[in-house]
A and B are shown apart, each in its own frame.
Chain A
Amino acid sequence: MSESQFRKPTSRRAFLGGSAAAAVAVGAGAARAAGPDPLITEVQDWAAGLGEGVDATPYGLPIRFEDDVIRRNVEWLTADTISSINFTPIHALDGTITPQGCAFERHHSGAIELRKEDYRLMINGMVETPLIFTYEDLTRFPRENHVYFCECAANSGMEWAGAQLNGAQFTHGMIHNMEYTGVPLRTILEEAGYNGEGKWVYVEGADASSNGRSIPMEKALDDVLVAFKANGEALRKEHGYPVRLVVPGWEGNLWIKWLRRVEVTDAPVESREETSKYTDTLADGTSRKWTWEMDAKSVVTSPSPQSPIPHGPGPLVITGLAWSGRGAITRVDVSKDGGRTWETARLARAGEARALTRFYLDTEWDGSEMLLQSRAMDETGYVQPSKAALREVRGENSIYHNNGIQTWWVRESGEAENVEVS
């Protein structure tokens, strides 16, 4: 058996070529075997020989055939990868939990290495007793588990002026969804004797950017978590090991990594990240600030430009993700004709508040072109708007919070492209 049978096509282009040819060969209807399949009739190496022993990989990465399912960067976006962002390969994932190893990263001064032993959390400001906690102290408070999405406010930000990046990973990949284990910030504030006086908290990271944001106390006491585990294991370095803040439903910049300080204040600090950045400039030049909540949004992850249809007409699973910072997703509609008609997709599980929801539209593809769209609705009755409707209110210069409906132009070949439609 030659090695080449194991190998995935070396590039996306090769894959597209191969799949298009296969689609033509198979045509409509069920496939019929031209002859016996040697993969079945011949004894394969893996069926005769032995695989790796249990100690071959003490901590495993995905099998090499999946080595294209990785975070990717768009080099021209930022001056330097140290202060930059990359994108989750959402086009290749299913379900809702994002594996930590391919969950997008955003750093302002690089991913630092901070040992648990060197970790300190300070609570100061308008509290009875300013306190210092070690990592171990945090593990002694009662803790909770919650699944939440974390979306960068700039997700889809490059698409404000029109279709730019050709792939769901690039248009919608500044998002991940993990199960967090942590202590409610409320518990920690109360431990320091918060008495209801301060109306804000200022939260700050330990890295050189000292990224800091002001959060109104109402939110801080509601569902904010001081988290130290994600998907059951320690946070990854790039996600703030050993401790990060989780601010459910609110923009990712607030989810302070390497959290080192929480200060109770009477007013917002108006830090760099909440004035010069993460403010949304409208068409008339005024800018919205404190746009913390992430609006309801969805995207078809497959088919999509990086995940073309690899087969001909017949059964086709259209799938995607939906989420809302205001609560649970209640419904997702899918259109195949650019928004002229819609059908309601199936939610894999009932939507959970501020977490990703997976939707499927199990359909019969007739092999013709499609203009695929998805439209999310949340429990507050918010309906994901079209890009045109969004631009009508906000113009094209907002940078942040672009939750407009995405369109993929799926061709007869199964290839897809990021387009905008009238």
Chain B
Amino acid sequence: MSRYREWVVLGLCLGLAGPAMAGQYDLGRPALPEEIAAWDLDVHPDGTGLPAGQGSVKDGERLFSARCAACHGEFAEGVGNWPELAGGEDTLADKDPVKTVGSYWPYLSTVWDYVHRSMPFGDAQSLSDDEVYAITAYILYSNYLVEEDFVLSQENFLEVAMPNADGFIVDDREEAESHFWQDAPCMEDCKDSVEITMRARVLDVTPEDEGEDGAAEEAVEVAATEETAAPDPELVAEGEKVFRKCKACHQVGEGAKNRVGPHLNGVVGRAAGAVEGFRYSKPLETAAADGLVWTEDALAAFLADPRGFLKGTKMAFAGLKSEEDRAAIAAYLATFE
């Protein structure tokens, strides 16, 4: 409670009218310690805000594979356009610098803080403090900054040297670019000649309007999905291969557990949102309440375009574009009861 508030309370108790103090409106209420603890999570370069805990490279490797590798790759090398977290040393002055935790990030606190608060994508704040230590340790390891047996903890956190810690300067535009401030820019005869040196059309990377082609074509190709009693072993084998894309988040088979995504045993033909102990997204819960069942068709539609099918799903997966892949996955998953 602010001094002013106490004073006002006191004033009221004494039956005095409290004159308004400049800049004080007596709006809002004091934040409770539990509330501040819940939201004030940021970690500073000097370690302020870092909770007690520890995690090993070994544990981090397992966690990274389960929680991070779908986007960042098993070795933190990045999948598709997702950020690479390792490599790129000595590339910052190259034509295309590779900016990773190892090559670019100046502070380790930033890694811990970001993983802790914002990762995994679509399931933020689901990692324990020790898990965050472990994942951070693994990211360091994947950048060759620590050894295999390293354990990162609150105690040794500040001892880790970040290679690019001294690679930053504070904005110096007003000095380095002082020549951009000028009284009378040239108006006449500013150049001897003008030649076109580059054309955007040659590169041809501008998105075109009207996407009528493309999407429709795939829909035309209707697969003859005849129900077969026994699973086609070739299709199942194909599905197992395709499932590698899903493995980082979903388990199947004996002892399968919920990871980033729910386990998928018996998913084909099962009601949606029915795996016990898994925290589904609200849209999925709503769809489940509306009676969504994971028939082969529904699964195929979901996997073709996860977020188009279920807006707001937690599944951060771009989808399976190929009809064959979707059929293969369904066949493979159908073998797990």
Using a CB–CB distance below 8 Å, which chain A residues touch chain B?
10-12, 68, 72-76, 78-80, 82-83, 108-109, 122-125, 128-134, 137, 140-141, 162-167, 170, 187, 190-193, 202, 204, 208-210, 212, 260-261, 263, 265, 267, 269-272, 275-276, 279, 281, 283-293, 295, 305, 333, 337-343, 371, 375, 377, 380-385, 389, 393, 396-397, 409, 417-422
Q: Which residues of B contact A382 (CB under 8 A)?
A: 180-181
The verdict on A133 contacting B28 (CB below 8 Å), with A165-B205, A269-B44, A287-B169 known, is yes
A263 touches B171 (CB 8 A): no
The docked-state distance in angstroms from the alpha carbon of A76 to that of B179 is 36
Task: For the complex formed, measure the closest distance between the CB of B162 and the CB atoms of chain A, giving whole angstroms.
Answer: 10
The docked-state distance in angstroms from the alpha carbon of A333 to that of B99 is 38
A393 touches B104 (CB 8 A): no
A333 touches B185 (CB 8 A): yes
Task: For the complex formed, measure the closest distance between the CB of B85 and the CB atoms of chain A, giving whole angstroms.
Answer: 10
Q: Which residues of B contact A191 (CB under 8 A)?
A: 23-25, 27-28
Q: Which residue on B lies nearest to A137, using beta carbons?
A: B27
Q: Which residues of B contact A210 (CB under 8 A)?
A: 41, 117-118, 124
Partner of B31, one of A122, A265, A419: A122
Q: Is B219 an interface residue (CB 8 A)?
A: no
The verdict on A129 contacting B97 (CB below 8 Å), with A290-B170, A418-B200, A421-B194 known, is no
B181 touches A261 (CB 8 A): no
Q: Which residues of B contact A125 (CB under 8 A)?
A: 40
The docked-state distance in angstroms from the alpha carbon of A73 to that of B36 is 38
The verdict on A342 contacting B30 (CB below 8 Å), with A130-B36, A263-B40 known, is no
Task: For the complex formed, measure the closest distance between the CB of B178 and the CB atoms of chain A, giving whole angstroms.
Answer: 10
**Interface-central residue, B46, B197, B207, by most chain A CB under 10 Å:** B207
Task: For the complex formed, measure the closest distance between the CB of B261 and the CB atoms of chain A, giving whole angstroms.
Answer: 16
Residue-wise interface mask of B (170-193) relative to A, using a CB-CB cutoff of 8 A (1 in contact, 0 not): 111100110111110111111101
Partner of B114, one of A75, A272, A339, A389: A272
The docked-state distance in angstroms from the alpha carbon of A140 to that of B25 is 9
Q: Which residue on A lies nearest to B172, using beta carbons?
A: A288
A270 touches B99 (CB 8 A): no
Residue-wise interface mask of B (11-32) relative to A, using a CB-CB cutoff of 8 A (1 in contact, 0 not): 0000000000001110111110
Using a CB–CB distance below 8 Å, which chain B residues touch chain A?
1-5, 23-25, 27-31, 35-36, 39-46, 71, 80-82, 92-93, 95-97, 99, 101, 104-107, 109-110, 113-114, 117-118, 121-122, 124-125, 167-173, 176-177, 179-183, 185-191, 193-201, 203, 205-207, 209-210, 307, 316, 318
> What would 5 A/B residue contacts be, using CB atoms closer than 8 Å?
A74-B207, A165-B200, A208-B118, A271-B113, A288-B169
Q: Which residues of A contact B195 (CB under 8 A)?
A: 421-422
A289 touches B180 (CB 8 A): no
B194 touches A383 (CB 8 A): no
The docked-state distance in angstroms from the alpha carbon of A76 to that of B109 is 31
Q: Which residues of A contact B117 (CB under 8 A)?
A: 210
A417 touches B200 (CB 8 A): yes
Q: Which residues of B contact A78 (CB under 8 A)?
A: 81
Q: A333-B185, A342-B188 are in contact. List 14 more A-B contacts (CB 8 A).
A: A74-B205, A79-B80, A82-B316, A109-B122, A130-B30, A170-B206, A261-B40, A263-B40, A269-B44, A276-B110, A285-B97, A393-B177, A397-B95, A419-B199
A122 touches B121 (CB 8 A): no
B110 touches A166 (CB 8 A): no
A289 touches B71 (CB 8 A): no
A377 touches B194 (CB 8 A): no
Partner of B191, one of A108, A305, A338, A377: A338
Task: For the complex formed, measure the closest distance between the CB of B143 and the CB atoms of chain A, giving whole angstroms.
Answer: 13
The verdict on A279 contacting B27 (CB below 8 Å), with A122-B35, A291-B173 known, is no
Q: Which residues of B contact A270 (CB under 8 A)?
A: 44-45, 106-107, 109-110
State the 6 A-B residue pairs at the shortest beta-carbon distance, nearest first. Answer: A285-B93, A79-B81, A285-B92, A338-B194, A418-B200, A130-B31
A421 touches B197 (CB 8 A): yes
A73 touches B199 (CB 8 A): no
Q: Which residues of B contact A260 (CB under 8 A)?
A: 39
Task: For the complex formed, measure the closest distance between the CB of A121 and the CB atoms of chain B, giving whole angstroms.
Answer: 8
The verdict on A381 contacting B183 (CB below 8 Å), with A129-B2, A164-B205 known, is yes
Q: Which residues of B contact A286 (CB under 8 A)?
A: 92, 167-169
Q: Which residues of A contact B2 (CB under 8 A)?
A: 128-129, 192-193
The docked-state distance in angstroms from the alpha carbon of A99 to that of B180 is 33
Partner of B196, one of A212, A293, A385, A409: A409
A288 touches B171 (CB 8 A): yes
Task: For the complex formed, measure the closest distance between the CB of A80 and the CB atoms of chain B, giving whole angstroms.
Answer: 7
Q: Which residue on A lies nearest to B181, using beta carbons?
A: A381
The docked-state distance in angstroms from the alpha carbon of A290 to that of B200 is 31
Partner of A417, one of B99, B185, B201: B201
Task: For the complex formed, measure the closest distance between the CB of B89 and the CB atoms of chain A, giving whole angstroms.
Answer: 11
B30 touches A11 (CB 8 A): no
Q: Which residue on B lies nearest to A163, using beta carbons?
A: B200
Q: Which residues of B contact A73 (CB under 8 A)?
A: 207
Q: Which residues of A contact B71 (CB under 8 A)?
A: 79
The docked-state distance in angstroms from the alpha carbon of A271 to that of B109 is 8
Q: Which residue on B lies nearest to A337, using beta carbons?
A: B194
A385 touches B180 (CB 8 A): yes
The verdict on A383 contacting B182 (CB below 8 Å), with A170-B206, A419-B200 known, is yes
The docked-state distance in angstroms from the alpha carbon of A269 to that of B40 is 12
B25 touches A208 (CB 8 A): no
The docked-state distance in angstroms from the alpha carbon of A163 to that of B36 is 48
Task: For the complex formed, measure the closest distance between the CB of A268 and the CB atoms of chain B, giving whole angstroms.
Answer: 8
